[in-house]
Amino acid sequence: MYLSKLKKSLSSRFGFFLLLVFLFWLKTIAVYLIDFQLGVTGIYQYAVLLINPIATTVLFFGCALYIKRTTPAYLTLFLIYIANSALLLFNVIYYREFTDFMTINVIFGYSSVSEGLTTSSFALLKPQDIIIFIDIILIILGFATRFIKFDRHPIPTKHAAAITSFALFFLVFNITLGEIGRPQLLTRAFDRNYLVKYLGIDTFTLYDGLKTAKNNQVRNEATSSDLNSILKFTKKHYAKANSSMFGIAKGRNVIVIHLESFEQFLINFRLNGKEVTPFLNSIYNSKSTYSFSNFFNQVGQGKTSDAENMLETSTYGLSQGSLFSSLGTDNTFEGAPAILNQRAGYSSAVFHGNKGSFWNRSNVYKNLGYQNFFDASYFNTNANNLTEYGLKDKLLFHDSVKYLERLQQPFYAKFITVSNHFPYELDSQNTSFKAADTGDTSVDNYFVTAHYLDQAVKEFFDYLKKSGLYDNSMIIIYGDHYGISNSRNLKLASLLGKSSSTWTDNDNLQMQRVPFMIHLPGTQNGGVQTQYGGEIDVLPTLLHLLGISSKRYIQFGTDLFSSEHDQVVAFRNENFTTPKYSVVNGNIYDNSTGLQITHPSASLAAKIKKESAKVNTELTLSDTLNNKNLLRFYVPKGFTPVNPKNYNYKDDFGEISKIQKILGKKSTSLWSKNGNKTTISDYVSDAPELKTTDDNAKNVSSAVASTKNSSSISESSSSSGD
Ligand code: GP9
Ligand code: MN
C-alpha cells in the first residue's frame, strides 16, 4: 500500500524533485555531524543547522523545474544533484586535510595558499563517504527497475516560480537566523566554519563565489600604475630612523605578546585598592621598557585580525569586515615574518590556542611568511583547558615552550592570548581576583580575566629569565583593541572617577588607548613615551630597532621614535586624534580639557581640515593597495615574494625538530644549546589544569604526540563583536 503510494509520488516530477531535496538534506546533515567540526552548541544552533541546506537545495534543484521536455528536465535535475553531491564530497575530503572549506579559488585551482584536491587527497576517503553517493546509485536503480518512472507532464512555470520564490524567501530567513545567532556573520566573516554552520555549505560557496567575482573584477582591472599615488604618499610620509635607537635590538629574538582586549586604563589601575595587573605594571614602569602612554588601537570590524594585520604589515584593515578573512587568502603581503627572515635570518612562529581557521589565519599566515603556526591542534584542548576562544592563557604559554625552545634563533614569535576576551568568563578554579561591582557582569569580570592574563605573562617571563632566552630577546607587549564597548563605558565611568552623565564621544575615543611596550632587557634608557601613535606604526618602529631600514617598503605607519614620526592617529571610521586635538564625528575636542571646541579659530579649522584630508587619503590609499592587491606589482629591493605553498602547518613540531637535526651542532635553538634537552622544567606555573596533565618532567616528544589532537573548541554563544 505504502510502497505503491511512494512509487506513485516518486513518479511525478514534483515528487522526484522532493525526493532529491530530501536525500540531499539528509546527507548534508549527516556530513555536518560526522565529518565537520562546526562547534554546534545549543538548541538554536542545531535548529539553524538542520534547516540550512533547504534554501539553496530548493533553489538550485528548482532550476530544472522550468524545463518542459521530459528527458532534459530529468537529466538537468539529476546532473545538478550529482554536481552538488560532488561538491559535498570534495569538501569532506578537503576538510580532512585542511580543516577548512573549499573556496571558489580552491575549486578552480586559483588558490595561492593550498593545492586544493590532489590525487593523494582521495586517499583520505573513508568508508562512511559512501553515504554521499550511494543514493545516486539507488536512484539509477530505481529508474532501471521502473520503481521510479518518468513523468511526461511538465511543471507549470507558475509553480516553478513559486518554488524559486519560496527558496529565496527561505534563504533570507536563514541568513536572518544566522545574523541573529552571530551578529555581523557576513560582514565580518570570522571563520568559514561559522558560515557553514549557520548558512550551509552551498550558501557559503555561493557567497564566496560572489565575493570572489567582485574581488577578481577589482583586481583584474588593477595595474601597476595604480601604485603611483600610494608610493608618492608613503615615500613622502616615511620618517627616518632615530639614530640613537636604530639597531639597539639587533639580532635579538622578538617575542610579541598579544594581550587580548586589553586597554591602557588597566595599567597601574587599582580596583578596591588592589593592582589588577601588577606584573604588567612593573614592566610598564621599568626602565628597561619603552612604554607608550598615548598608543591607540586602530582596528575595524576585523578586531584581532586587524590588529595583527596592522602590526605586521603597517597597512590598515578594511573599512568593512576583516582583511584577513576577505582578502587574506590571496593577497600579497610584505609582512614582518618575511622581512625579518629575508633580511636578518629570523625563523618565525605563532602560538594561538584557537582553531587555525578563525580569522582565516591558517591561510593568511602563509602569505605573511610565517614558518610555523601552532594553533589549537598542537595543544591539549580538553574542556577543562579551554575558555570561550581557546586554550587558557597560562596553558598557552606553558604548553608552547616545548615548541618555542626548538625554534632556531633569532626567532620572531607571536603569542595570541584569549582568556581576556568578552564576555570575560573564567572558571572559578582560575580566578584569584575580586570582580568589580558596576552591575554589568562583563565589565565586572574584565578585571578578573585581565588579572589572570597578567599572571600568565608573569609566569612566562619567569621562564624566559630562567631559561636564558630573556637576555637575548626583545619582548613586545600590546593590547589589540578595546575590551569594554562604548555603551559599556558608561558603566565603567565611575571606576575611572568620571560620571556617566557627562561621558562624551571623545571619552570613548580616549578609551581606545591600548598598551604598547617594548621591553629590552639590559637597557636602562626606557621609560614612558608620550608621543601619539598607533598599531600602524609598529612595523617600521620594530624594523628600525632591529637595525633594518624600512624605507623600501610600502608602509603607512612611521617609526614611533623618529623625530619625523606622524602623530596623527587615524581610526577606521575616519575619526582621529593628535597630541592636542581629537576629532570625533566631525567634532573637535581639546585634549587638555576634554571639552568640545564649538567655535574653532580659522587657523585651527584649517589645520583640522588638512589633517582630516590626510587621514582620509591614508585610509583610502591603504584600501586601494589591499583591495587591488597591488603589492603583487611591487617587489622591494632584495625582497623575494612569499610563496605560501612553502608552508604547511600540519606537523610543525616535526619540522622544527628536523631542522635541528639537520643543523646538528650549528642549531641555534634553545633546546640544542641546552645539550639537546628540554627546558620545560624551568617553567613554573600555578595553573591547576597542569597538576593533572603536567608534562613538565615527561618526555617532550611523547607529550607532543599525545597532545596533537583536534580541538573541540566551540563557538562562543556571545558575539565577539561586543
Ligand atoms: C580568536 C581571537 C579573538 O582566535 O583572536 O578574536 P577577536 O574576537 O578579538 O577579534
Ligand atoms: Mn581581539
- The domain that holds 465 is classified in CATH as 3.40.720.10
The answer to whether the beta carbons of residues 298 and 537 sit under 8 Å apart is no
Scan for cell 550511494, then name that residue.
134
* DSSP H or E segment with residue 528: strand 527-529
Q: Is 421 in the pocket of ligand 1 (CB under 6 A)?
A: yes
Q: Residue 515 to residues 274, 448, 459: CA-CA distances in angstroms?
A: 19, 18, 19
Residue at 435 is within a domain: yes
Structural domain contains residue 712: no
Rounded distance, CA 98 to CA 457, Å? 31
- The answer on 192 and 252 residing in a single domain is no
In a domain, 498, yes or no: yes
First and final CA of the chain: distance in angstroms?
A: 58
Do both 314 and 265 map to the same domain?
A: yes
Is residue 14 located within the same domain as residue 126?
A: yes
The helix or strand, by DSSP H or E, that contains position 274, with its residue range, turns out to be strand 274-275
| 347 and 327 belong to one structural domain | yes
The rounded distance, in Å, linking the Cα atoms of 389 and 673 is 35
DSSP string, 291-340: EESSEE----TTHHHHHHHHHHHS----SSS-HHHHTTTT-----HHHHH
- How many A from CA of 110 to the centre of ligand 1? 28
| 267 and 198 within one domain | no
Grid coordinates given for 291: 612604554
Quick check: is 304 catalytic?
A: yes
**Å from CA of 705 to ligand 1 middle:** 27
Q: How far apart are CA 195 and CA 322, in angstroms?
A: 14
Atom of ligand 1 nearest to the CA of 303: 10
How far, in Å, from the CA of 321 to the mean position of ligand 1? 13
Asked if residue 481 belongs to a known ligand binding site, the reply is yes
The answer on whether 304 is annotated among ligand-binding residues is: yes
Residue having the nearest C-alpha atom to atom 7 of ligand 1: 304
Alpha carbon separation from 476 to 136, 291, 542, 627 (Å, rounded): 57, 10, 9, 29
Inside any domain, residue 587: yes
Question: Does the beta carbon of 20 sit less than 6 angstroms from any atom of ligand 1?
Answer: no
544 annotated as a binding-site residue: no
Total domains, the chain = 2
Peptide bond into 410 cis (omega under 30): yes
322 CB under 6 A from ligand 1? no
- Rounded distance, CA 303 to CA 325, Å? 11
Q: Which ligand is nearest to the CA of 478?
A: 2
Residues in the chain predicted with pLDDT less than 50, given as ranges, are 694-711, 717-721
358 lines ligand 1 (CB under 6 A): yes
> Which of 219, 247, 262 is a domain's end point?
219
- Give the tens place of pLDDT for each residue, 563-616: 999 999 999 999 999 999 999 999 999 999 999 999 999 999 999 999 999 999
Can the peptide bond before residue 337 be classed as cis, meaning omega within 30 degrees of 0?
no
Q: What residues are neighbours of ligand 2 (ion), with CB under 5 Å?
A: 303-304, 480
- The CA distance from 16 to 7, in Å, is 10
Q: How many CB atoms lie within 10 A of CB 420?
A: 29
Residue 421 is assigned to a ligand binding site? yes
For residues 166 and 284, state if they share a domain.
Answer: no
The verdict on the CB of residue 258 being under 6 Å from ligand 1 is no
Tell whether residue 159 is among the known ligand binding residues: no
Same domain, 404 and 446: yes
- Does residue 711 lie in a domain region? no
Asked, for residue 668, whether it belongs to a domain, the answer is no
Inside any domain, residue 684:
no
CA 244 to chain centre: 36
61 lines ligand 1 (CB under 6 A): no
Ligand 1 atom at minimum distance from 418 CA: 2
From 185, 219, 253, the end of a domain falls on: 219
Same domain, 540 and 603: yes
C-alpha cell at 192: 568559514
Q: Could you give the C-alpha distances from 336 to 343, 369, 550, in angstroms and in order? A: 10, 8, 11
Atom 3, ligand 1: residue with shortest CA distance: 304
Structural domain boundaries, residue 24: 2-219
Statement to judge: residues 521 and 544 lie in one domain: yes
pLDDT at 128: 92
Nearest bound ligand to CA 390?
A: 1
Closest atom of ligand 1 relative to the 480 alpha carbon? 9
Question: Distance between CA atoms of 294 and 267, rounded to whole angstroms?
Answer: 12
For the CA of 303, the nearest ligand: 1
Task: Determine if ligand 1 sits within 6 Å of the CB of residue 389.
Answer: yes
Same domain (yes/no): 236, 144: no
From the list 289, 304, 387, 678, the catalytic residue is 304
Taking alpha carbons only, the member of 53, 353, 297, 187 closest to residue 719 is 187
- Ligand 2 centroid–CA 388 distance in Å is 12
Atom of ligand 1 nearest to the CA of 322: 10
Q: Which ligand is nearest to the CA of 302?
A: 1
Distance CA 554, CA 566 (A): 16
- What is the 185 CA–ligand 2 centroid distance (Å)? 16
CA of 643 to the centre of ligand 2 (A): 28
pLDDT at 449: 98
The response to whether residue 194 sits with its C-beta less than 6 Å from ligand 1 reads no
Q: What is the CA radius of gyration of the chain?
A: 28
pLDDT at residue 699, as a whole number: 40
Task: Tell me, yes or no, whether 417 and 347 share the same domain.
Answer: yes
Q: Facing residues of 292 across strands?
A: 516, 529
CA-proximal residue: ligand 1, atom 5 (nearest): 304
Residue in the structure block whose three cell numbers are 565603567: 492
Q: What is the pLDDT of residue 700?
A: 44
Residue 271 lies in a domain: yes
What is d(CA 515, CA 277) in angstroms, rounded to the nearest whole number? 12
353 and 458 co-located in one domain: yes
> Hey, which of 188, 303, 362 would you mutate to test ligand 1's pocket, going by the most ligand atoms within 8 Å of its Cβ?
303
Instruction: Give residue 722's pLDDT.
Output: 54
Q: Which three cell numbers stand for residue 205?
A: 560557496
Distance from Cα 720 to the centre of ligand 1, integer Å: 7
Does the CB atom of residue 720 touch ligand 1 within 6 A? yes
The letter for the amino acid at 394 is: K
Kindly tell me the burial class for residue 633, based on how many C-beta atoms sit within 10 Å of its own C-beta (0-12, 13-18, 19 or more).
middle
* Predicted pLDDT of residue 715: 62
Pocket lining: 415 vs ligand 1, CB cutoff 6 Å: no
Of all protein residues, the one whose alpha carbon is nearest to atom 8 of ligand 1 is 720
Q: Write down which residue in 219, 237, 266 finishes a domain.
A: 219
Distance 304 CA to ligand 1 centre (A): 5
